[in-house]
Amino acid sequence: MEPKHLYFPSADIHLDISLPASKSISNRALIINALSGSRSEIRNLSDCDDTQVLIRALKMDQSIINVGAAGTAMRFLTAYLAMTEGEWTLTGSERMKQRPVKLLVEALNNLGAEIQYIDKHGFPPLFINGKKLKGGTIHLDGSVSSQYISALMMTAPCMQEGLNIVLEGEIISLPYILMTMNMMKEFGVEVKFLTNRIEITPQFYKPVDFTVESDWSAASYWFEILSLVGEGEIFLKGLHQNSYQGDSKVAELFDNLGVAVQYFSDGVLLMPNKVNIDYFNYDFINQPDLAQTFVVCCCLKNIPFHFKGLKSLKIKETDRIEALKTELAKFGFLLTEPAAGELAWSGEKKEVCHFEETGEIFIETYDDHRMAMAFAPAALMFPVAIEHPEVVSKSYPTFWDDIERIDKRERKSVN
């Protein structure tokens, strides 16, 4: 696909945006609903690639399941298929075959599963002989992907002995674990979570009517846009103040970067508050998917920062820390990695690296939807060309249609 060419130098921001449904909630709801045996459809499911992959896989019309680049689907289906009778082959894209799944596979095999690696040890594709799992007690490093923990939690009530998960060390992405726990409770399963121990006894899920709320992670890009423009307003439909999503923290964080929020029954209104801090220091351990938004936004607003809690960014769709350093250097921002899982900018700059013929800055997206969306607001200040813009379909398929509504009458395109 051709690059997406964008430039909005005189944007007038007055927008109503219908955000996509939460991918995280949609994918959990699909697995739990399937385990409950419910024939009810989950309402307002996300239209993103990850969720559509999961919908197709749960129909079980073939034994070979290819999840493409959908990391959540890979983790959740590994656990789900491990206890679903039959023989399954679970594979994905070339990048997916490089993303580790060893800790989850080892945990499941210790609980009675029969999962084998087809190619490289510790990585997809997997051969799974699905059967009833015994369950028991396992110890996991708390710094592993929360998707491993959530996958085990959701299948735990169906194990013969239930499951006790002892988390050792620092627990990252805690809001995602709490999201899973709260959704399990909504479907009738009790979960005990005390300090570092998750206890789930054998139980039955109850079918319930469930509607997925809009995605706070997707909302972050509109916070970034209003923060950069500094005037106007944006109404984001379908968001709730009392949300399952840890990324709802974005509203509080952007209060430091010029954006205030007013809550309504059908969404939230973003308005300028004229507040901008001089230096941003924050630990994203509980909201890693917001990191790219804040890194790009702070650079474009010339606000030095030091962000921690980014270790999981190394094993996402790409190495997001390296990707951010590389792409922001094209705008002249020289970022550093003070320690593992950290990213900082002191204010140091160099010459902007734009394409001579058009004056555009070309942004690589690395098969990563969040790289594309976090950098798109840079078009408010620079002509940009986003390579492989189709990657946004992973979580926000209508993103470019929504973006191009910015100041449509005055937009200066470099197409």
Tell me the residue length of the chain: 415
Q: DSSP letter for 2, please.
A: P
Are 226 and 232 in contact by the 8 Å Cβ rule? The answer is: yes
- Look up 215 and say whether it is catalytic: no
Residue-wise DSSP of 159-171:
STT-EEEEEESPP
Are 289 and 370 in contact by the 8 Å Cβ rule? The answer is: yes
Angle between helices 216-229 and 291-300 (to 10 degrees): 0
Are 284 and 222 in contact by the 8 Å Cβ rule? The answer is: no
First to last CA, the chain: 14
- Ordered strands of the 343-345 beta sheet: 280-283, 305-308, 343-345
Could you say which of 50, 289, 368, 402 is catalytic?
A: 289
Question: Strand locations in 51-195, DSSP E?
Answer: 64-66, 86-91, 114-117, 126-130, 136-141, 163-168, 192-194
Residue-wise DSSP of 142-157:
TTS-HHHHHHHHHHGG
Are 70 and 54 in contact by the 8 Å Cβ rule? The answer is: yes
Q: What residues act catalytically?
A: 289
